Structure 1
Amino acid sequence: MIIVVVVYLWIKSKPIYLVDFACYRPSDSLRVPEAHFLEHAETSDVFTQESIDFQEKVLRRSGIGNEACIPISVHEMPPDESYSVAKAEIEEVLFTIVENLLSKQNINPETIDILVTNCSLFCPTPSISSMIVNKFRFRSDVKSVSLGRMGCSAGILAKDLLRVHNNSLALVLSMEAVSPNGYKGKEKSMLMPNVLFRMGGAAILLSNRKADKIKAKYQLQHLVRTHTGSDDRAYLSVYQHADDDGLVGVSLSRSLIHVASKALKINVSKLGPLVLPYSEQLRYAWMMIRRRIRTPPRGENDRRGNIYVPNFKKAFEYFCIHAGGRAVIDGLEETLKLDKEDSEASRMTLY
């Protein structure tokens, strides 16, 4: 019993705080209004009229506003997709937000213990984490990890590292490189990223030091991640490949929202017992028992998978939905049965 108590207290005594964050704000000169985007596509002389019409339709439905930006190299005619401009985009975004975050918190770069960088489609040598270490002169024993090809699912690592390394500061950097990833073919699924991807990035400072509790913005409580990559439909939902003409791009399949919804439902079943009041947990358990005994009454299940979704508004005041696209926000809003007001912040972030 003593050993169990000691182990429990040792694990429980490691709260993780989100101390602060910084987001990249591009220059107004990099904005790409809808008319500018369409004119650029038409005059580039690489798209068929059908491809242009499709991109226009997606853009008008995307929820992206005229304040969104793209790198200067993509504004050029023709767009510069060289290695050097991709590296310059990485440096512009990440160097800026790291400097802003460290100066805002008056932190010496040598005090950073853990560095995690995340960029899916551009993986240079030296790595992006090495670029940051070199620029800001981090310590030689900094634990650095450079993640690639993981998209938006790469955020779990830093918290796990902080569970292991006591009294540490972790810097997490995340962005996507737009410059080298334009697609010039005619496959509709591969044209989607042309419309939906924009310029940006975030730097997040995490800590497990007790001294940071007072100034931290948040304390991280529960993190649940589901990997559905063993399912071919999930595996191929965001897929980089060459089309029939040999042009490389990233395809976004029609099943993406379904795949995300399925993973979310699994996460919800794991997260629910950790956060929901007992009344909602009991209702959820009762509904599951009834499902095993007989067909559930109409209205007690969501339309997609005959699974009762608990009322998470009884556990949370605010919801931060990944602003990856209007369809993503719509899908999660429907799955979690949220009101429009609950997703308004995410819609405006996308805009």
Structure 2
Amino acid sequence: MAPSSTREEQRLLSTEIVNRGTDTFSVRVRRRLPLPDFVNSVNLKYVKLGYHYLINHAIYLATIPVLVLVFSAEVGSLSRQELWNKLWDYDLATILASFGVFVFTLSVYFMSRPRPIYLLDFACYKPSDELKVSKEEFIEMARQSGKFDEETLQFKRRILDSSGIGDETYVPKSIISKNNITTMKEGREEASMVIFGALDELFEKTRIRPKDVGVLVVNCSIFNPTPSLSAMIINHYKMRGNILSYNLGGMGCSASVIALDLARDMLQANPNNFAVVVSTEMVGFNWYPGCDRSMLIPNCFFRMGCSAALLSNRRRDFPRAKYRLEHVVRTHKGADDRSFRSVYQEEDEQGFKGLKVSRELMEIGGDAIKTNITTLGPLVLPVSEQLLFFSTLVKRHLLGEGKKEDQRNTTASTTTSSSSSSSRTSAASSKPYIPDYKLAFEHFCVHAASKTVLDELQRNLELSDSNMEPSRMTLQRFGNTSSSSIWYELAYLEAKGKIHSGDRIWQLAFGSGFKCNSAVWKAVRRIKKPSSRNPWLSCIDRYPVAL
């Protein structure tokens, strides 16, 4: 292969493989690093967003203690006899008026509180074993299709070997077809298989009739037929005519949290209702048959999968609910042109349609993740962690260390390895305090995008191997199932019997746009190990496996 071709291949592989250079490696290629170092790039304005959200939604936390202190001070200064005499000084009208104001205030407070949103249960589709393929079988199927030359197949093999994906993932058999498989017929058949499979399981587990569902939200990024997938579900299950249905398309791997946010808003506006959220992606319909290497990467990672979750805003459903939704925080970087085009659907030179992955995807994704988790911090972190983090961050910005850090990064990109080493040492001396998110959450469900992304997130957030276990095992067993992956991870935690009452779960997803979204759940009871209808049930004893 020519030297220029080799350099091009290395740049593409850098979106999934960490560069392990020596001390003589130039910092000029810093974009090969999968994610920026969160420790040295925290932005104060994103912390302010989190506190603004907190103040808007929890002002009573500040006002109620003040009122209690004032009342206690007033009452505490009086003796029992003085207090009794003071009460009798008021006439009946004054007492009734005061009591009426108290009742009215209390009523307004409880009526204005957001309705609690409960997750009654969820289901993850597990395809039949005849659709299971190993990595070697995957390459052989691509070879049999006749669409790829040997050089392209070897490139796919190298991507798969470093992906973190195992030998038991699922793909539709249609990808071995020599004909065009990205037809509406093929897409509808795959959609029917995974969506109805997940929904059948959900309705069986919850014993909820399809006609009882008042809100339906479906997200599928690439495959968006007419009538929509939500209409297909309504037709199949003969749902009621006044159902509020929504179909979200083109929103990438983080769309499940977006769909969840929409369902929450609909439930807040419509009392005594159920909502179903369906998250999926069509692997066969997204199959790219060309040879553009930046478009071949999605072929290697995406696998079949679908999740369906049942939400309720009825307080009487609390006893049978599994989780309560605490927070949803969404971040969108689409205003930036690089972020907008980081994952872009277009045709290649041969006219084949596919998803083009930017070489800068890791850097862009890291910036979106940093923004999201920094905004989320004030909502979930203990006060002690927030004080330490905020004080060091303000000190850093007041002293101008943030600007100095940016100047060091700019200088480092044009210097040799010796200056790179000294820059990193200098940067380490001005690190702000990074909160310990393990104090805010007991469990982490990070979108299983690739092994490299999970490695870097673990390093940046200082998470343990146990924290990352659900994400790594989901990637190994089911591959990247796009927006539904965070639900397969939660199913893993349940299958292991790790969820106890009061546990907090953080679902973190990111995808095209570029977007990063978080959902925080709190377990309302201990979740027992499932006896049936869990995608991990037949193999959970084999996990975790060494990677």
Q: Does the alignment pair 1:137 with 2:207?
A: no
Of residues 98-107 and 138-147 in structure 1, the stretch that sits farther from structure 2 once superposed is 98-107
Q: Aligned residue for 1:329?
A: 454
| Match among 291, 316, 322 for residue 441 of structure 2 | 316
CA contact (8 A) 2:389 2:432 kept: no
Alignment TM-score, normalising by the size of structure 1: 0.93
Deviation of 1:188 after TM superposition, in Å, equals: 1.3
Q: Aligned residue for 1:284?
A: 389
Q: Aligned residue for 1:234?
A: 339
- 1:37 and 1:179 map into 2 onto residues whose CA distance is 13
| Match among 22, 32, 38 for residue 133 of structure 2 | 32
Q: Aligned residue for 2:263?
A: 158
* SS of residue matched to 1:107: coil
- 2:432 and 2:296 map into 1 onto residues whose CA distance is 34
- 2:172 and 2:432 map into 1 onto residues whose CA distance is 43
Deviation of 1:12 after TM superposition, in Å, equals: 2.5
| Match among 33, 39, 50 for residue 151 of structure 2 | 50
- 1:160 and 1:38 map into 2 onto residues whose CA distance is 44
CA contact (8 A) 2:449 2:475 kept: yes
* SS of residue matched to 2:208: coil
Of residues 141-150 and 179-188 in structure 1, the stretch that sits farther from structure 2 once superposed is 179-188
Deviation of 1:119 after TM superposition, in Å, equals: 0.6
Q: How many residues align?
A: 350
Report the residue type matching 1:268 in the other structure.
I
Report the residue type matching 1:80 in the other structure.
I
**Unpaired runs of 5+ in structure 2?**
1-100, 406-423, 477-547
Computing the radius of gyration from Cα coordinates, the structure with the larger value is 2
What is the aligned-residue identity percentage?
Answer: 43
Q: Aligned residue for 1:83?
A: 184
Q: Does the alignment pair 1:340 with 2:475?
A: no
Q: 1:211-244 CA deviation, whole Å, 9 max, x = no partner?
A: 1111111101011000110011111111101112
Deviation of 1:127 after TM superposition, in Å, equals: 0.5
Q: 1:272-295 CA deviation, whole Å, 9 max, x = no partner?
A: 111111110001111111211333
Q: Aligned residue for 1:266?
A: 371
Q: Aligned residue for 2:173?
A: 72
Q: 1:246-265 CA deviation, whole Å, 9 max, x = no partner?
A: 22100122322222221222
* SS of residue matched to 1:144: strand
Alignment TM-score, normalising by the size of structure 2: 0.61
- 1:287 and 1:8 map into 2 onto residues whose CA distance is 36
Q: Aligned residue for 2:380?
A: 275
- 1:302 and 1:331 map into 2 onto residues whose CA distance is 18
Deviation of 1:162 after TM superposition, in Å, equals: 1.6
Deviation of 1:75 after TM superposition, in Å, equals: 4.1
Of residues 85-94 and 1-10 in structure 1, the stretch that sits farther from structure 2 once superposed is 1-10
CA contact (8 A) 1:257 1:331 kept: no
**Unpaired runs of 5+ in structure 1?**
none
| Match among 97, 101, 117 for residue 218 of structure 2 | 117
Q: Does the alignment pair 1:201 with 2:306?
A: yes
CA contact (8 A) 1:70 1:198 kept: yes
Change (3 A) 1:12 1:239: same
Change (3 A) 1:240 1:287: same
Deviation of 1:41 after TM superposition, in Å, equals: 2.2
Report the residue type matching 1:318 in the other structure.
H
Report the residue type matching 1:270 in the other structure.
T
| Match among 201, 215, 223 for residue 320 of structure 2 | 215
Change (3 A) 1:342 1:46: same
CA contact (8 A) 2:388 2:433 kept: no
CA contact (8 A) 1:238 1:250 kept: yes
Report the residue type matching 2:329 in the other structure.
V
CA contact (8 A) 1:302 1:308 kept: no
- 1:325 and 1:76 map into 2 onto residues whose CA distance is 27
* Cα RMSD for the two superposed structures: 2.4
Report the residue type matching 1:126 in the other structure.
P
CA contact (8 A) 2:120 2:322 kept: yes
- 2:262 and 2:428 map into 1 onto residues whose CA distance is 32
* SS of residue matched to 1:345: helix
* SS of residue matched to 1:319: strand
CA contact (8 A) 1:119 1:148 kept: yes
CA contact (8 A) 2:118 2:323 kept: yes
- 1:302 and 1:318 map into 2 onto residues whose CA distance is 29
Q: 1:59-96 CA deviation, whole Å, 9 max, x = no partner?
A: 11111111100012124455733221110110111111
* SS of residue matched to 2:330: coil
Change (3 A) 1:301 1:202: farther
Deviation of 1:309 after TM superposition, in Å, equals: 3.0
CA contact (8 A) 2:145 2:176 kept: no
Change (3 A) 1:50 1:34: same
CA contact (8 A) 1:73 1:81 kept: no
Q: Aligned residue for 1:246?
A: 351
* SS of residue matched to 1:178: coil
Change (3 A) 1:64 1:78: farther
Report the residue type matching 1:36 in the other structure.
E
Deviation of 1:139 after TM superposition, in Å, equals: 0.6
Deviation of 1:181 after TM superposition, in Å, equals: 1.6
